[in-house]
A and B are shown apart, each in its own frame.
Chain A
Amino acid sequence: GNSVTQMEGPVTLSEEAFLTINCTYTATGYPSLFWYVQYPGEGLQLLLKATKADDKGSNKGFEATYRKETTSFHLEKGSVQVSDSAVYFCALSDRNDYKLSFGAGTTVTVRA
């Protein structure tokens, strides 16, 4: 079956530091890959996505590249802000039923 493994947290960083959250997946076929973010008190929001190998998703300064050879989709941001404090979830979507399989989430706290 499909599964997602992401780096455990929590992660605490200073403002303007570099952030990376590792994500690897196991899937049959060719899934789409996503990063969702959950800000305090809010619902899940799509941060970025990639639908095929070597695609790079990007949004709000975050990037992730779909690496089929390493089955990975690591999230990176070069300079984090306090407003990036949130829980980040890596997820994959089966191309048949499009249901999402999520990782356990990584809590990121950015200090001023």
Chain B
Amino acid sequence: DTGVSQNPRHKITKRGQNVTFRCDPISEHNRLYWYRQTLGQGPEFLTYFQNEAQLEKSRLLSDRFSAERPKGSFSTLEIQRTEQGDSAMYLCASRVAGTGGTEAFFGQGTRLTVV
């Protein structure tokens, strides 16, 4: 399968623990986006990369959150000292930059539950 892959699919963690999620985009896609979706809401933008450069971070991304894309391929999203409010679905999407009408392809997401 050559779609966007996210791991793990589900993560349950205790409050205060650190968690890390991984996203493997479609191989030729140079743009990678992270979104967060809470129950009953649409996804909200967190951050995006072009190749290995992180170009924008939303104000939703507190200093407990960090994202990397070290070689311009896969990306990781780490949440330190998790809080119950971090419980959400974390979505990754990828696309090719420079083609405005081309869709972004989404992974199936990582569902985080903080207990």
Residues on A close to B: CB < 8 A?
Answer: 4, 32, 34, 36, 42-46, 49, 51, 89, 91, 93, 95, 97-105
Contact = CB atoms under 8 A, between A and B. Distances in A.
A103 B44 CA distance: 9
Interface residues of B, number: 25
B107 to A, nearest CB: 6
Nearest to A6: B42
A104 B43 contact: no
A89 B42 contact: yes
A97 B56 contact: yes
Contacts of A44: 43, 91, 93, 106
B56 to A, nearest CB: 6
A18 B44 CA distance: 30
B25 to A, nearest CB: 13
A103 B42 CA distance: 6
Contacts of A99: 33, 45, 48, 56
Interface in B1-56: 31, 33, 35, 40-45, 48, 55-56
B101 interface: yes
A6 to B, nearest CB: 8
Contact of B41 (A42, A45, A105): A105
